Structure 1
Amino acid sequence: MVVKRAKVGLIRVLTTSDRDLLELHGKKVMSWFPELEVVSRCIPDQPEGIHDDTTEQMAVPKVINLAEEFESEGFDGILVSCAGDPGVSELKEVLSIPVVGAGRTTACIALSFDLPIGVLGITDEVPVGMKAVLRDRMIAWTKPSGVTSTLDLMTPAGRSNTLNAAEELKQKGVKVLALACTGMASIDVAPLIAKETGLIVVDPLKAAAAALWTVLEQRGGN
């Protein structure tokens, strides 16, 4: 029997014409969950993605437009590949299909370990949704030196500084590390951090994909 794969619309908040970069997160999701068929699209006019309150506010209506487009085309679910969860709350009110963002999902999984949590992102503040979930269970947070956008993570210095920042959080007593930027999934840094530091590391893209897969698998009855 041929089982129909669930169609997921993946929204990148980094504007790019590079097809490989655009589809990178979707291909990772399909490698983890072969039952999902992922189509990736990016919002317009944000070549540095989301890295502060201003760029997040700019992104929200664009994310909503893309999500509504996916739903109108018959997609089964939406994955917003951003730890700031832009537009996710608004979309839950207007779409009939499940919508998952990376921030709150990552925070919820980090909480499940019942250990001191640290957050590593690229913004000057922890994403609001993650902070609301973690509350006083988050004992420390930081951002890598010299990293101001997701593009910076893709350099050798960005990767090295991300590892250094994780080690700093470990020294502060962190046992579980919640990554607060899906760009860190682009460089596969989660397993490297886990290996180098011994920390439990929650990858935001994998966390969001797992949550959406769980819902869609139940609906499909596979």
Structure 2
Amino acid sequence: MDGKIKIGIIRVLTLENKYDLENHARIIDENGKFRENIEFVSRCIEDQPFGIHDDETLNTAVPKIVKLAKQMEKENLDGIVISCCADPGLKEVEKEVKIPVISAGRECSEEALKLGKKIIAIGITAEASEHLKELLGNNLFDYYNPQNINSTLDLNSKRGRKSVVDSAKKAYRCGSDCIMICCTGMSNIKIAEEIKSNVDIKVADPLESIASKIKKVYDL
């Protein structure tokens, strides 16, 4: 591991299983082929068994994320990834640490804006957040919360996957030219691949976007 860049990945869903905890790191690595250059260190915040899915869970998570980010900097990590499309604590973390901070929502929105001008965002919250509206501006064509999807855990079923794909089909029919996936849990189940096999539309995926940003920040 000597000589490798060390990047901390902050998960906002509390996970006890090490394999599950490190899954975002594996997907980011797969999309960026970083094995030779980067060591990922995955940690999760405490007491968030359903992750972040509304204002209450977001506000509760922010101080935990800031605390974990500061701890990672003290451990001499070279960067931090906030692996959540709500970008919880992003502004606060950037004020508290001096190392680069990469965050799923910001990076995915930048990718979506490169791909299209009529972006339909698909997420797990009931409505589009003000943060998402700021990120996409007038290019936010619409926002969909798939049927029966209220937290990231609801994605781990055939019904959950179908509901997301059905929303993508609806987006296409409504004239969207790009879908922005607004939940890293959707990246976690690689739903972008399934969407593109069913719908002729461009898809901005948060974990893929994080991989692209890492390449840019660390000149890889």
TM bracket (short chain): over 0.9
- One-letter code of the match for 1:46? Q
Q: Give the superposition deviation at 1:114.
A: 4.0
Any unmatched runs of 5+ in structure 2? none
User: Higher mean Cα deviation, 202-211 or 146-155?
Assistant: 202-211
Alignment of 1:41-60 (within 5 A): 41-60=43-62
Question: 2:158 aligned with 1:159, yes or no?
Answer: no
Any unmatched runs of 5+ in structure 1? none
Q: Which of 29, 41, 56 lines up with 1:39 in the alignment? A: 41
Q: 1:99, 1:32 → 2: CA distance?
A: 19
Q: 2:73, 2:110 → 1: CA distance?
A: 26
Q: Which residue does the alignment assign to 1:98?
A: 100
Q: 1:155, 1:140 → 2: CA distance?
A: 25
Contact 1:79/1:100 (CA < 8 Å) preserved in 2? yes
Q: Give the superposition deviation at 1:127.
A: 3.3
User: Higher mean Cα deviation, 130-139 or 64-73?
Assistant: 130-139
Q: 2:159, 2:116 → 1: CA distance?
A: 32
User: Higher mean Cα deviation, 7-16 or 100-109?
Assistant: 100-109
Q: Give the superposition deviation at 1:130.
A: 2.2
SS in 2 for 1:112: helix
Q: Give the superposition deviation at 1:3.
A: 8.5
SS in 2 for 1:17: coil
Q: What is the total number of aligned residue pairs between the two structures?
A: 217
Q: Give the superposition deviation at 1:40.
A: 0.5
Q: Give the superposition deviation at 1:5.
A: 2.2
- One-letter code of the match for 1:5? K
SS in 2 for 1:37: strand
Q: Which residue does the alignment assign to 1:176?
A: 178
Please list every run of at least 4 consecutive aligned residues from structure 1 whose deviation after the TM superposition is greater than 6 angstroms. none
TM-score by length of 1: 0.93
Q: Which residue does the alignment assign to 1:21?
A: 20
